């Protein structure tokens, strides 16, 4: 995966993640102080990205109230209940992984790659799609498209 290579090559300065999985380099660099890692609950991470793509000013969530996750964040009270204001999260560049992409950038994802890839496509300034297979325009039926090529700036196909 591209992001693992970027971390291993010390090309990432900051990572905003819900977990780091088994990526040992992330843990090593975090402990050395060469990589800043911000942990965000997975649902909150998804909503922050979605908010950026939708042009929203943020989302309100009760997740993290009363914990260190609330440190430095604005608390909004609605109907007597506290919520954290989580600001939108986007990227300069997003590298998406698709199973199939057509010449126009329309994407088909497999499994869990459907979770964040469509969100990131809307929330990044420049979108690169890495795909296993490139097909001609029209080979992907409209109802099979998981994410529109309108968001795609570049396509890379594995050799």
The H or E element that residue 12 is part of is: none
Number of domains into which the chain is organized: 3
CA distance 98 to 48: 22
**pTM of the predicted protein model:** 0.88
More confident residue, 113 or 86: 86
Assess whether 102 and 145 both reside in one domain. yes
Assess whether 100 and 57 both reside in one domain. no
Residue 159: what pLDDT? 77
Assess whether 31 and 48 both reside in one domain. no
Assess whether 95 and 151 both reside in one domain. yes
Q: Which domain holds residue 153?
A: 91-157
- Residue-wise pLDDT for 46-96, tens only, equals 999 999 999 999 999 999 999 999 999 999 999 999 999 999 999 999 999
Residue 2: what pLDDT? 53
Assess whether 145 and 100 both reside in one domain. yes
* pLDDT(25) > 80: yes
């Amino acid at each position: 995966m591209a992001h693992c290579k970027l971390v291993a090559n010390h090309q990432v300065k900051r990572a905003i993640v819900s977990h780091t999985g088994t990526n040992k380099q992330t843990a090593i660099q975090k402990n050395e102080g060469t990589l800043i890692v911000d942990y965000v609950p997975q649902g909150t991470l998804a909503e922050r990205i979605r908010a950026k793509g939708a042009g929203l000013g943020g989302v309100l969530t009760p997740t993290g109230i009363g914990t260190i996750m609330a440190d430095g964040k604005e608390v909004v009270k609605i109907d007597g209940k506290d919520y954290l204001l989580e600001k939108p999260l986007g990227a300069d560049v997003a590298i998406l992984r698709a199973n199939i992409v057509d010449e126009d950038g329309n994407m088909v994802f497999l499994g869990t790659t459907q979770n964040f890839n469509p969100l990131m496509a809307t929330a990044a300034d420049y979108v690169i799609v890495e795909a296993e297979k490139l097909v001609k325009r029209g080979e992907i039926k409209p109802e099979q498209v998981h994410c529109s090529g309108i968001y795609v700036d570049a396509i890379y196909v594995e050799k």
